[in-house]
Structure 1
Amino acid sequence: MKLSRLIILLCFSIFGLMSTMGDSHAADPVIFVPAADNGIQLPEELTLGPCSAVDFDSEGRMYLFHRGKQPILCFDRAGRFLRSWGDNLIGQAHGLRVDQHDHIWVTDIGNHMVYQFDSQGKILLAIGQPGKPGTGENQFDKPTDIAFGRHDEIYISDGYGNSRVMKFAANGKYLGQWGEPGKGPGQFNLPHSIILDRQGRILVGDRENNRVQAFNSEGKLLEIWTGFAPYGMEFDAQGNLFVADGRANKVLLLNSSGKVAQSWGRKGAGPGEFNLPHMLTADTADNLFIAEIGGKRLQKLLREK
């Protein structure tokens, strides 16, 4: 191994290990090594724009959402390009999640829409009014992310224009909402990411308030975790919660109390460095994939067992 590469790996591991110091209840540290590449093969004619979100389906196919031509990109388990879609539909890419049925959901902050697709790119459901932001039950104002309940209910963080969480049935029927602008408990200043934990709590990344707020399925506030900017959130298969902190240009690991247990990265363009990490996902081997807005790239961190 070249000396420069060895130094990078050692420094990156140290960044992760240092953050566990002082936590007497810390588990064995998680160790990541920056991969030599992200493992995907782009078509020659395609250049990535700002990358906003990434996720996998149950077959190991990757879906990458970026702000450029062919905004939704699909790759097979080996990283080979399969298909793309979204031109002349997506105004501006933001969130992307794959549900338990392998349906692909995206939030479009350009056209104020949420779409559900099958794995071939066919539209199955569209929620919102294209190009018409608003506060109604069938409107969004730059929706940011999607989460899925145990009974296929849909939770949408809405978002840049509206400071609320909206709840829908699997067929798109409006079920309710909560939240308003502000800094107080249960209020939001840009709800930017949303995910459910194993207890069924809805975790909302309240980005500009530098906190995560946890709610039950009806919007009752349960907990507040502070001290970081939660641009994106994802659980790995072990139940570890990782956060992309786009303001600090770091990836964070939170403990069960919502405290930062470990962190990786700093601002830069090198391996293991970040330029506005936006959203992230984990594969079945617990490797992390981070979509970068500023870096216009997808980065892979290899999990060492």
Structure 2
Amino acid sequence: MGANLFYMPHGISVDPDNNIWATDVGLHQVMMFPRNSTTPSLVLGEKFVPGSDASHFCKPSSVVVSRSGNVYIADGYCNKRVVVYDTNGTYKTEIQGDWSVLHSLALFEQEDTLCIADREGRKVDCIGAGIKNPQEFGSSVLEAKNIGRVYGIAGHGSTLLAVTGSDTGINPGGIILDLADGGRVINNWGTDFNNPHEVAISSDGKTFYVAEIGPNRVRKFELVPSKESFYYRD
């Protein structure tokens, strides 16, 4: 899938209805593919035309979709904003924040919280998702700062998994943050990563996957609780 369709695909995610969402930073577009389809039923953004309004993006990087039908798009490299649509592609609202490069998103729907991996800001920033309380959309929930260049994040329960790339004094790897404890880092993992770029977690929270560029591989892990924290098994 994707021949003669993508130019520089970047992010991929699956929504609660098993539709596939893909971002293309070269086309400046976001596409939605229904389950078992190789043709997008929804395309947001104008092909090869960057912009910053309701119908244009500039290098969108990531998408997450709520069960209630909010589509959150990290318009991520140039515009430094999160744009919200419904699943029909109707623009709803957006927020700009103190972000450098929005590289990945994670949604905690029960907590009405959206987390943003700010890669060059070296932090994870969590804000109100505005699902249950629209007036709280964009309000600050917590910040986890100085944790390295955060490329990918994924969440389950109150746990946030993150993968970080090489940075000054920090080797590539993975971290686990507890959002219920102010974003405290409770474990490190993936010390043998070379260039992790994204992470995804299963709906039951027991399995997660890390995509690395450079080695060009996807690795599968199991998340196993212990008495004190968590550990992973490759």
Where on the TM-score scale, by shorter chain, does this alignment land: which range? 0.7 to 0.9
2:86 to 169, 185, 188: 169
Letter in 2 for 1:175: K
Structure 1: runs of 5+ lacking an equivalent: 1-84, 180-185, 267-272
After superposition, what is the alpha-carbon deviation per residue over 1:83-109, rounded to whole angstroms, capped at 9, x for unaligned?
xx0111111121111000000001111
Letter in 2 for 1:166: V
Q: Distance in 1 between matches of 2:92 and 2:32?
A: 18
After superposition, what is the alpha-carbon deviation per residue over 1:17-38, rounded to whole angstroms, capped at 9, x for unaligned?
xxxxxxxxxxxxxxxxxxxxxx
Q: Which moved more, 1:96-105 or 1:208-217?
A: 208-217
Contact 2:29 2:44 in 1 (8 A): yes
Contact 1:203 1:215 in 2 (8 A): yes
Contact 2:84 2:94 in 1 (8 A): yes
Letter in 1 for 2:207: N
Q: After TM superposition, give the deviation of residue 116 of structure 1 in Å.
A: 0.3
Contact 2:127 2:141 in 1 (8 A): yes
Give the number of equivalent residue pairs: 208
The alignment's C-alpha RMSD in Å is 1.6
Contact 2:16 2:67 in 1 (8 A): no
Identity of aligned residues (%): 30
Q: After TM superposition, give the deviation of residue 304 of structure 1 in Å.
A: 4.4
Q: Which residue of 1 aligns with 2:21?
A: 105
Counterparts of 1:219-298 in structure 2, within 5 Å, are 219-228=138-147, 229-236=149-156, 238-247=157-166, 248-256=171-179, 257-266=182-191, 273-283=192-202, 284=204, 286-298=206-218
Q: After TM superposition, give the deviation of residue 285 of structure 1 in Å.
A: 6.6
TM-score (norm 2): 0.83
Query: In structure 1, the residue corresponding to 2:89 is in which secondary structure?
Result: coil
Counterparts in 2 of 1:110 and 1:255: CA distance versus 1, 3 Å: same
Q: After TM superposition, give the deviation of residue 303 of structure 1 in Å.
A: 3.7
Q: Which residue of 2 aligns with 1:129?
A: 46
Q: After TM superposition, give the deviation of residue 115 of structure 1 in Å.
A: 0.4
Q: Distance in 1 between matches of 2:153 and 2:184?
A: 14
Q: After TM superposition, give the deviation of residue 122 of structure 1 in Å.
A: 2.7
Counterparts of 1:184-223 in structure 2, within 5 Å, are 186-197=97-108, 198-216=110-128, 217=130, 218-223=137-142
Q: Distance in 1 between matches of 2:175 and 2:153?
A: 9
Larger Rg: 1
Q: Distance in 2 between matches of 1:212 and 1:119?
A: 31
Q: Distance in 2 between matches of 1:225 and 1:251?
A: 14
Counterparts of 1:67-106 in structure 2, within 5 Å, are 85-106=1-22
Contact 1:148 1:195 in 2 (8 A): no
